[in-house]
Amino acid sequence: MAFNESVKKTMEPLAWLFQMITAIFMVFFLGVHLIIAHAYGINNILFQKILERLQDPWWQAFYIVFIISVTYHALNGLRGIILDMGVKRIRLLNIIFWIVAIVTIIYAVWLLFGIIATAHPV
Amino acid sequence: MSFKDSLNWINIKGRHLQSGIAFILHRLTGLVILLYLYMHLGALSQLLNGGIAYKNFLSTVESPPFVALDILLFLVIFYHGANGIRLVVQEFGIGTRRRKLFFWIMMVLGLIGWLLLTYIVASSFIGGA
């Protein structure tokens, strides 16, 4: 008997595929994030240290991909839960999902560059 | 959508008990992480207020109750991650015959990861690094 342990049966194939891809991304991105933020004590999350790190374009790219992956994975997971509840207005649910996802990503990227800008006050 | 339907997201009917519990925990931990994601994004906005405001914020979140909550959050993340890796690997047809064993192997690995991170965080906190 094949056990149904995930939302594979509920989600659309493409949404499921991206859920898997972002899950793999998350292992790397969240892993690095946890190590950077917590494995070096408080030193690595001091204001100046964060600003220094965020000046690096590689870290900027890291956080942008991380933001997109985590937002998609988290909100699509929530969408899967709501779909499992038997919601009828799937189209409306999908529209809300994309609006919330895009707003979250825009806010988080704006926050990222806002923090970087504090290093160079006008 | 009836009340019965609304509970479908934690329905383990037709599932093996262990697999069903793993499924429910995966969803519950996912919801906790989703909630934390938005709290984290909100908290990070403190960085926009400059170094002094951020330092004050940091002194609050580095207090023992917050560190304890952080460690609990790590447990939630490590469970979701370890079980999630198992689900992805099984998608490739690996470990599908020994699901129960695979699950427990991932749980042990997740627990080791959590204990390691907890030790690092706790020792740097106690050491005042």
DSSP, collapsed to helix, strand or coil, labels residue B95 as coil
Judge contact between B30 and B80, C-beta under 8 A.
yes
Q: Which residues of A touch B (CB under 8 A)?
A: 1, 3-6, 20, 23-24, 26-27, 30, 34, 38-43, 45-48, 50, 70-71, 74-75, 77-78, 81-82, 84-88, 104, 107-108, 111, 114-115, 118
Mean pLDDT, each 10-residue run in order, chain B (129 residues) = 69 74 93 96 88 85 87 96 94 86 95 93 69
pTM: 0.88
B31 occurs within a structural domain: yes
> A118–B47: do the CB atoms touch at under 8 Å?
yes
Report the C-alpha gap between B118 and A121 in whole angstroms: 37
Chain B residues in contact with A5 (beta carbon < 8 A): 15, 19, 22-23, 26, 87, 90
B7 occurs within a structural domain: no
* Residue A121 to chain B, least CA–CA distance (Å): 10
Number of domains in chain A: 1
Judge contact between A83 and A90, C-beta under 8 A.
yes
Judge contact between A47 and B47, C-beta under 8 A.
yes
For A116, name the nearest residue in chain B, comparing CA atoms only. B48
B101 occurs within a structural domain: yes
Longest dimension (CA), chain B: 56
A3 occurs within a structural domain: no
A6 occurs within a structural domain: no
The band of A120, judged by pLDDT with boundaries at 50, 70 and 90, is: low
B6 occurs within a structural domain: no
pLDDT of A44-87, one tens digit each? 788 888 888 999 999 999 999 999 999 999 999 999 999 988 88
Q: What are the CA-CA distances from residue B11 to residues A5, B20, B21 (Å)?
A: 11, 8, 10
A19 occurs within a structural domain: no
Query: Domain range holding A82?
Result: 24-117
Closest CA to A84 of B60, B7, B62, B82: B7
Element at B27 (helix H, strand E): helix B17-44
Number of domains in chain B: 1
